[in-house]
Amino acid sequence: MRTQVAIIGAGPSGLLLGALLHKAGIDSVILERKSGEYVLSRIRAGVLEQGAVDMLASVGVDARMNAEGLRHDGFAMGFANRRLRIDLAGLTGKQVTVYGQTEVTRDLMDARKAAGLVTIYEAENVEIHDFDTRNPRVTYEKDGATQELLCDFIAGCDGFHGVCRASVPQGAIRNFEKVYPFGWLGLLADVPPCSHELIYANHERGFALCSMRSKTRSRYYIQCGADEDVNAWSDQRFWDELRRRLDPEAAEAVITGPSLEKSIAPLRSFVAEPLRFGRLFLAGDAAHIVPPTGAKGLNLAASDVHYLGEALREYYRDGSEAGIDAYSARALARIWKAERFSWSLTMLLHRFSNMNAFEQRMQEADFLYIESSRAAQTTIAENYVGLPY
Ligand code: APR
Ligand code: PHB
């Protein structure tokens, strides 16, 4: 089999890149290790920047998002039992859209299928070859038989544990990483949210987040130990702990119900440099990880594939390599800014077990400053709604 761009991974990065390439008349094949159902069973964040929303619209995958997505003009930060609203619309003129990543993935999958584009699910032992030449290849196994895919380029959209970044010679790549000493315990339930906007709360017992998927489905998180066992958390224990960490009004408004899903996710910041190795490009979680505190994971994946899609379009349309030469630097410039924002919100909102009294006062002073300064609130707001591409 032959294609122009072999895309490894059918998460949001791979699917969105495939849609952008299709719109530009460029052929792609996606190879995905898991089944489509498995990909859709993963629960991830749910806040889209306008840039990501616009990209989905540009590829015609916005009907359900427009109908079901919730437009939010602000969010709240809780501390010392108070709540500070960050007025996104007032400070930046922009909004965010609350629409689950699982739904974005489902919409992209459906559109790809409807357009008759090739996605090979349950492709095992994917290996990438010769990406330092003009004739890269990908081999994989499907139903017990080894297959080969010839291509012009390989897009590594295969997430943090994928094969693409791992296939780059060690000396050619530099990794930057910070692992946080805690996790997030998340719970999904069919109950109305306790607030019509998100609340990110810093409490002496640890961080808590009130989020939602719709007006009838809530997503809540609480900071927990990095190696805690999710089975130690009954629904009742979760709800009790959540309420303790919220201001009285929010705690009072929490409506409880049986969990549909409960899981613990570690928090990590990670960036690989560079993002291009000959004819291999890395994008999305294969290239970087952000802690979920600013909901930047999917949004960064969208900006990466925007730059990559443009670069490949320039290559095929104009015969110019300028875009693919610039891809790594352009994507990394935006990635590092989103890393900085996600790291700073994480440091501001969580309790660290090794925090000394001075560091505790610094966190409090940070909040007091943000509360008193429109400039500081604007900085948070312009990062939260998304920096320009
Ligand atoms: N071969 C084929 N597919 C693979 C391989 C492999 N060796 N390794 C991983 N994959 C697939 C995974 O099964 C997954 O479906 O690549 C896909 C990567 O998807 P994501 O992990 O969702 O990463 P990405 O598409 O970059 O999405 C970024 O979505 O995952 C969230 O937190 C992430 O919000 C961020 C955004
Ligand atoms: C979520 O709804 O899952 C969510 C929202 C905002 C975040 C992280 C997760 O910052």
Which of 182, 177, 180 is closest to 208 using CA atoms?
Answer: 182
pLDDT of residue 45: 85
pLDDT reported for residue 81 = 85
Answer yes or no: is 70 within a domain.
no
> Residue 289's domain is classified under what CATH number?
3.50.50.60
Q: Taking 90 as the threshold, does the pLDDT of residue 141 lie above it?
A: yes
**CB 132 within 8 Å of CB 106:** no
CA distance 336 to 276: 16
Does residue 371 belong to any structural domain of this protein? no
Q: What is the DSSP letter of 186?
A: E
Q: Is residue 162 in some structural domain?
A: yes
Q: Using CA positions, which residue lies closest to atom 4 of ligand 2?
A: 45
Residues in contact with ligand 2 (CB, 6 Å cut-off): 45-47, 198, 211, 219, 292-295
Q: Provide the number of structural domains found in the chain.
A: 1
Tokens of 57: 């619209």
Contact of 279 with 155, CB cutoff 8 Å = no
Which residue range forms the structural domain that includes residue 130? 5-47+95-177+268-346
Residue 303 counted as domain residue: yes
In a domain? residue 158: yes
What is the per-residue pLDDT across 292-348, written as a single tens digit (0 to 9) for each? Answer: 999 999 999 999 999 999 999 999 999 999 999 999 999 999 999 999 999 999 999
Question: Residue 157 CA: which ligand is closest?
Answer: 1
pLDDT (tens digit, 9 = 90+) per residue, 242-295? 999 999 999 999 999 999 999 999 999 999 999 999 999 999 999 999 999 999
Measuring from atom 26 of ligand 1, which residue has the nearest CA?
284
Q: Tell me the CA–centroid distance for residue 10 and ligand 2, in Å.
A: 21
Give the separation between CA 64 and CA 145, rounded to whole angstroms.
38
Res. 43: pLDDT tops 90: no
* Dist. CA 211 → ligand 2 center (Å): 6
Residues in the chain: 389
Q: Residue 208 domain-assigned?
A: no
Q: Do the beta carbons of residue 239 and residue 256 sit within 8 Å?
A: yes
Active site positions, annotated: 72, 200, 292, 296, 384
Its pTM surpasses 0.85? yes
Q: What is the mean pLDDT of residues 42-69?
A: 95
Quick check: is 103 in a domain? yes
* Count of CB atoms situated within 10 Å of the CB of 332: 20
> Which tokens sit at 164?
């693409």
Pocket test for ligand 1, best of 32, 104, 300 (most atoms within 8 A of CB): 32
pLDDT, average across residues 107-134:
98
Pick from 4, 3, 8, 20: nearest CA to 302: 20
Domain assignment of residue 74, yes or no: no
The amino acid that residue 89 corresponds to is A
